[in-house]
Structure 1
């Protein structure tokens, strides 16, 4: 969903492998942007294995499956997280048919969502891990891609594979990297440098470093309590790191709006 003609700034949040904290990061970035007075909608694009609702402690009556089947309108499936305008689009869990949606069905989802998107500044798409066709298509539909990695070698190799497929098959050249679960911010820079080096050497691709989030005991506690970390412990190490990332997302949006405005007036 290219936003060149829209107000909403879309970010797909992806990872090469599971277990790197991608969904938790998506939730807390949304919360941080909401607290900065932005209108934010979180979309659970991990079709078939949805878990954003679990992190939020919610049990939505309707989800994207109902929207696709024509059993519910967009307005009926949007779930408020906090007022005003911090909302959530839930997906289904345990529905194998949703895991590998074809292109027409994915486009159908976004066509149906257009009616509400102009209410928001940010669309954050929490996309499943790996390189399935559904993951790749969703990632290609957003204006920006945030690839979440951890310092583990398997995370680096799987993220490289994801970036390689998106760049070679979808001609995507812009990737912003967040290194999660690091012992220090310096470790984050080192992990990014290793991934960036491989992408420059083999893909002729320069990655963009968004930042790192430190390992923090407050994170699993917030997950168990089913509240966003930034609500439970905003001054924690990880909380401060996520707030710094949110500031960068705001700057990216400002730049997008400037470019859009200059194009309209050229």
Structure 2
């Protein structure tokens, strides 16, 4: 096996943040010795999430077994995802921060499932995957991400399953969404549908797209972590990974 030096496009501050979480966890559970230091474990996890490397590659690069690399990743992802805010708290914070509106959008996380797994097949994207709902601020900051549902789930159905519509109505925050959410209740504004629309509706749709566009960059920020470009693990872990990555992405954006 050949070895080479590589880089991860994340800040030292993010590495220290994750290492601090791991260090406090080890102290809580009274872990006396491990193969890697908290900083090394944090780097291993960031490499896994950001670059999407396999556990075999990680184990070779960090000098641990494949099972140990898997354990370190599972532990750290769990520690990160519990720091992601609950839906109600995230929306109330957005309202307190004075955000004029939010952006709701669905995202498909591709998986390597076989073609027989029809419930995970998204006809819209023509691939197998898991549906994740993302709420973002107007500038693209990730406010909240949902758990995962099979890719065949419609965005509006997913929003109802996760209680997003009810929570938005309770928070009283105007939310922009694409045509996939038409027919919904609550404070959600969607574009006009249909052909031969009058000029006023076309202008409204253009304004809607202009306002919604920057917020939808939140999905691109999540997908910049390569592990989400195609999952090789259990598809149901997609939601947990997204929550952990949202915590890291927001920290990197604000303090990196």
- What band does the TM-score fall into relative to the shorter chain? under 0.3
Normalising by structure 1, what TM-score? 0.26
Normalising by structure 2, what TM-score? 0.26
Say which one has the larger Rg. 2
Q: Between Structure 1 and Structure 2, which shows a larger proportion of strand residues? A: 1
